[in-house]
Amino acid sequence: MLIPSIDLMGGRIVQLVHGEKLRLAFDDFEYWIQRFSPYPLVQLIDLDAAMRKGDNRGLIEKISARLPCQVGGGIGTVAKAVEVLEAGARRVIVGSALFRAKAAGEAGESDSVDTDFADELSRTVGIERVVCGVDTKAGRIAVKGWTEQMKLTPEAAIDELEPYCGAFLYTHIDKEGTMQGFPLVIAKRLRELTRRQLIVAGGIRERSEIDALDSIGVDAVAGMAVYTGMLPA
């Protein structure tokens, strides 16, 4: 299944390369809402909220009221997740808040998954409405709008978060926005780790990739390829 992505920054729909360099920007919201209306699921991300640089709350509410969206970006508390769902989102994508960096002098050997938060979130909003984001750069989890990197691997994160979500979203930051293709070998490896819905993003450029992912039970998020016309939506 193809899941088109709407990324918001500064009140516009944008597409970034590697989550850093602005490549495309649009403000014709009505056009894209109409284009994406046939899809059973759309991904809606508030990049400003993810980067702790404000938010696009009004647009999130407007779009999620008209499209079936899973919404992410800056959802760091259970209360925020409830607020987003009550505003019309079908599901929430939670990433950074699921992970704890080891503080200097703290007992333990490494960064960790905050399973207490994950458990509280899933019990409050319902496990089927939680998507755990395991955004990954150079094989390690990246958080806070991909500006900080942890020592955790996506494999370790999936193993611990399995009981608390209805789906996983794996974003391959190394390929994000490049249209260089998503590494199918990674999708196959992750598919073997979880029984939950698995969604992948990063570099997807053509229909054959989506079909290959679909054949192994993996759904695909695409943004750049859709907005440039490489992948007709």
Superfamily name and number for 2-227: Aldolase class I (3.20.20.70)
Q: In the structure, what pLDDT confidence band is assigned to residue 52 with cuts at 50, 70 and 90? A: confident
* 128: pLDDT strictly greater than 70: yes
Residue 45 to residues 119, 139, 156, 162, Cα–Cα distance (Å) = 23, 22, 24, 22
> Could you tell me the residue ranges of all domains in the chain?
2-227
* Residues 63-89, mean pLDDT to the nearest whole number: 96
Span of 42-46, 72-76, 179-183 with lowest mean pLDDT: 179-183
Provide the 10 A C-beta neighbour count for residue 149: 19
For residues 144 and 208, what is the distance between their CA atoms, to the nearest angstrom?
A: 32
Distance, first Cα to last Cα, the chain:
12
Residues 6+ apart with CB under 8 A from 87: 60, 61, 64, 65
**Per-residue H/E/C for 47-116:** HHHHCCCCCCHHHHHHHHCCCCEEEECCCCCHHHHHHHHHCCCCEEEECHHHEECCCCCCCCCCCEECHH
Percent of the chain at pLDDT > 70 equals: 96
Which residue pairs, CB below 8 angstroms and at least 24 apart, start in 20-23?
A: 20/146, 21/177, 23/177, 23/224
For residues 76 and 134, what is the distance between their CA atoms, to the nearest angstrom?
A: 14
Give residue-wise pLDDT tens across range 131-160.
999 999 999 999 888 888 888 999 999 999
Could you list the beta-strand ranges (E) of 95-217.
Answer: 99-100, 112-113, 130-133, 136-137, 140-143, 148-149, 167-171, 197-201
Torsion sign over Cα 184, 150, 144, 197? positive
Rg of the chain over Cα atoms, rounded to whole angstroms, equals 16
The owner of tokens 């505003």 is: 87
Give the pLDDT of residue 230. 86
Q: In the structure, what pLDDT confidence band is assigned to residue 75 with cuts at 50, 70 and 90? A: very high
CA angle 154, 139, 47 (to 5 degrees): 75
